[in-house]
Chains A and B, each alone.
Chain A
């Protein structure tokens, strides 16, 4: 695999660089004992973005969110949220956050807890509105400790979105939800985004990142491995699948010499290739005088793209 040039790690974009960042990580590192959870991280989020933080377990997603929310302080580097400390930004009601785990207050009702969240927020919404939006109206009278996993997640979501925050941070928000509640959850999330909020969520559901986020940041070993739109990520990982059949036996050496090729598999007259630039590859193929039949060019899902990137990043170190 030749697509080892990991995409740019800065996350700066020309079109949004002018507005002040919602979140700014500058050279942030954090270790627990000998484990380097976050390693010199530079990360900037801009207003209105919906950003997925993607990575396998242990990639540093939760640590990054902890630092962002001021639950931990970095060993070195600086974390700024709306140009101030995380704690200040939270105290001003600019950040709403939903943690992945952790119990809520027990022996109180859903409505009571949502009311608490609305009251604690400097710009809280009406309780009924928050309940409705999180699809909790029907179970508003139920005790918190009697909820199912998915219902509890919805309550956490209500807790995080009880007021007019500018940034919403969600750590693996759909854990424990079934497919339909996951859909409606992302529906309400999109609604939040439409109102101009910046949304950052950590996930290992790759299709979620692909579907919801307009920017995907792939973390690996506490570093940004890739940062771009999901289409860009896929392109950066260099993977389009090209397949076709030929009239005669394929000339493997000639095929191997095609530009932008990252993989080749010949079985009889059937050829499967992977390319970082399908246009160039196919064009050159016609230039060779070949006439592929049944030509198919397909993008890989984010999942495979993501595997390709992390693969590329680990292999040299472990070799």
Chain B
């Protein structure tokens, strides 16, 4: 099973298009959006400066991309194409395929997080008060990306063929924008903010923001993310069983 996981990881890291969108793209967005702002500009509705706000937002966005985009489309394709069927004719345990996919998502999110941090620190001079904050940030964003890896698996087992890409895109952009990864939610109308406050991406970015301020993540955000993890992983498990049930 570890061989399959390793192979999935190697394949993800080798895929130039995927690496561009997960590693380079969030950093570019960071430079474009935060590039014009000064360290003294405060992101509306937060105690954070614009560069700090966008560093966490873009690291979260990159991790979301890596965790969600890679798996959903690939799983849908490999299910339809027959690769999953071929794997069922090996000794690989039933859940081995999904486990490998999640492992590969978990590994490919790391560079997307770290590169945004490096770009932010070098190009925009972002500094945090303590070294532990960098580690905690990386850890929190990385761990939180599991929620979206589970969502990716669920979509991969839900959608097929031509539907999987648009569906993934809608969810991806919806979560990114409404959850405040692209711009502070303070600029949204109230009703949109009310919706956004319940989205996993909002809680996800809030983890990092709390750490930047020097606090522990808020219990509400952690609980919300844990809830979504249970929901997505449960849906993924149910859809997976439905798909592999022999008829």
Contacts and interface: CB of A to CB of B under 8 A. Distances in A.
Given A73-B247, A103-B78, A107-B11, A117 B83 contact: no
A242 interface: no
A119 B14 CA distance: 22
B3 A116 contact: yes
B190 interface: no
A121 B82 contact: no
Contacts of B93: 91
Given A112-B7, A116-B3, A119-B3, A107 B15 contact: yes
A103 B81 contact: yes
Nearest to B94: A87
A171 to B, nearest CB: 11
A108 interface: yes
A102 interface: yes
Contact of A120 (B11, B82, B92): B92
A104 B3 contact: no
B86 A159 contact: yes
A96 B90 CA distance: 7
A203 B232 CA distance: 44
B10 A121 contact: no
A105 B90 contact: no
Interface residues of B, number: 22
Interface in B217-240: none
Most B C-beta atoms less than 10 A away, residue of A99, A112, A120: A120
A11 B81 CA distance: 35
B247 A105 contact: no
Contacts of A216: none
A72 interface: yes
Contacts of B247: 72-73
Nearest to B15: A107
A91 B86 CA distance: 13
Interface string A96-125: 110101111101100011011101111000
Interface in B9-36: 10-11, 14-15
A115 B82 contact: no
| Interface size band for A | 20 to 34
Contacts of B7: 105, 108, 112-113, 116
A102 B4 contact: no
Contacts of A90: 88-91
B55 to A, nearest CB: 32
Nearest to A143: B14
Contact of A115 (B3, B85, B92): B3
Nearest to A123: B91
A78 B136 CA distance: 56
Contacts of A108: 7, 10-11
A69 B81 contact: no
Given A103-B83, A108-B11, A112-B7, A120 B246 contact: no
A92 B91 CA distance: 7
Contact of B246 (A72, A107, A112): A72
B246 A71 contact: yes
Nearest to A122: B91
Nearest to A169: B89
A107 B82 CA distance: 15
A105 B84 CA distance: 9
Interface string B82-120: 110110111111000000000000000000000000000
A121 B91 contact: yes
Nearest to A120: B90
A25 to B, nearest CB: 16
A302 interface: no
Contact of B91 (A69, A91, A101, A115): A91
B75 to A, nearest CB: 12
Interface in B46-88: 78, 81-83, 85-86, 88
A99 B246 contact: no
Contacts of A93: 91
6 contacts: A95-B89, A102-B86, A103-B83, A119-B3, A120-B1, A121-B91
Instruction: Give 4 closest A-B pairs by Cβ, nearest first.
Output: A102-B82, A103-B81, A119-B3, A97-B89
Interface of B: 1, 3-4, 7, 10-11, 14-15, 78, 81-83, 85-86, 88-93, 246-247
Given A90-B91, A101-B82, A121-B90, 10 more contacts: A72-B247, A73-B246, A73-B247, A90-B88, A90-B90, A99-B85, A103-B81, A104-B86, A120-B1, A120-B91
